[in-house]
Amino acid sequence: MSETFNYSHMSKKGKSRAGYVGCTYDDVEHRITDIGEILVKTPGCMIGYYKNDAATKETLTEDGWIRTGDKGEVDEKGLLKITGRIKEIFKTSKGKYVAPAPIENKLIIHPNLELACVAGTGFPQPHAVVQLSEASYAEVKKDPSKKDEIGKALNDLLKKINPTLDQHEQLAFLAVVSDVWLPENGFLTPTQKIKRPTIESTYKPNLETWYESKEKVIWFGF
């Protein structure tokens, strides 16, 4: 749970759920904006930054709610779930917003995959650029014919995941890249998190071709 929600939400007896941060304290309110951002209001909410109107407008709404920067949803019992960060959300050409992190989590639990970056700004559907697990990468490098077997497994994964997503979130394809993403080459942070701007800019020149190919699993650089 982020520090913000340590002071606004809690799990209560009979009102808890795995994966949720809980319900609000009695004197706290929360709401979700039209793009899915979580806003909170508490008695201890600040009135603004001293002599810094720009920072105040970035942090607080006009009616005094705190912008948490987190994307979330509230269930029928009023329990809050955090599903990603607003800064990571992108918009497709259809005007639909996509939160990449939950989709990436569905991908990287597959034994053939290590890392994934879901993107697709300006395209009808999102896509995912993925890195193979160490074992799968070694197999393909040793025997390129292994791409057929792994490609079929990833195609099956796509067929399994897409029906669990809203229509505008369904992935057009998986692009399996040969680059090894590391902190040393700027693809990952020191804590092993993907650097989205680096990954997206690196493969952006290939996107038109990848989308036009209509392939569900695309191999790049192998």
Q: What CATH code is carried by the domain that includes residue 182?
A: 3.30.300.30
Q: Do both 94 and 82 map to the same domain?
A: no
Q: Are strands 29-32 and 37-41 parallel, antiparallel or unpaired?
A: antiparallel
* DSSP-derived 3-state class of residue 104: helix
Same domain, 186 and 99: yes
* pLDDT score at 125: 97
Task: Please report, in tens digits, the pLDDT of each residue of the chain (222 residues total).
Answer: 455 666 788 888 778 888 888 888 888 899 998 878 899 998 888 888 888 888 888 889 999 898 888 888 899 888 998 887 777 888 899 999 898 988 999 999 999 999 999 999 999 999 999 999 999 999 999 999 999 999 999 999 999 999 999 999 999 999 999 999 999 999 998 888 899 999 999 999 999 999 999 999 999 999
Domain ends where: 36, 55, 86?
86
Which range of residues forms the domain containing residue 175? 90-220
Do both 43 and 116 map to the same domain?
A: no
Shared domain check, 146 and 66: no
Cα angle 87, 92, 98 (rounded to 5 degrees) comes to: 45
**Nearest-angstrom CA–CA distance, 201 and 193:** 16
pLDDT of residue 1: 47
SS3 content of the chain, % helix, strand, coil (to 5): 30, 25, 40
Q: How far apart are CA 215 and CA 29, in angstroms?
A: 46
95 and 73 in a single domain? The answer is no
If asked whether residues 82 and 122 sit together in one domain, one would say no
Residues 213 and 105 in one domain: yes
CA distance 127 to 116: 10
Same domain, 57 and 97: no
Q: Kindly state whether residues 54 and 133 are assigned to the same domain.
A: no
CB 76 within 8 Å of CB 84: no
Nearest to 4 by CA among 18, 20, 21: 21
Q: Taking every pair of C-alpha atoms in the chain, what is the biggest distance, in angstroms?
A: 63
Q: Which of 64, 86, 108 is the last residue of a domain?
A: 86
**Number of domains comprising the chain:** 2
Paired tokens of 208: 């038109």
Identify the CATH number of the domain in which residue 55 sits: 2.30.38.10
Q: How far apart are the C-alpha atoms of 163 and 150, rounded to whole Å?
A: 21
pLDDT of residue 6: 63
Q: Cβ(127)–Cβ(118) under 8 Å?
A: yes
Residue found by looking up tokens 């697990």 in the block: 133
By three-state DSSP, how is residue 188 classified?
A: strand
pLDDT at residue 199, rounded to an integer: 96
Residues 24 and 55 in one domain: yes
- How many residues make up the chain in this entry? 222
End-of-domain residue from the set 30, 61, 86: 86
How far is the first Cα of the chain from the last one, in angstroms, to the nearest whole number? Answer: 40
Q: 210 and 104, same structural domain?
A: yes
The pLDDT value given to residue 5: 67
B/e letters for 31-52, b = 16+ CB within 10 Å, e = fewer, are: eeeeebbbbbbbeeeeeeeeee
Return the structure tokens found at 74. 């509230």
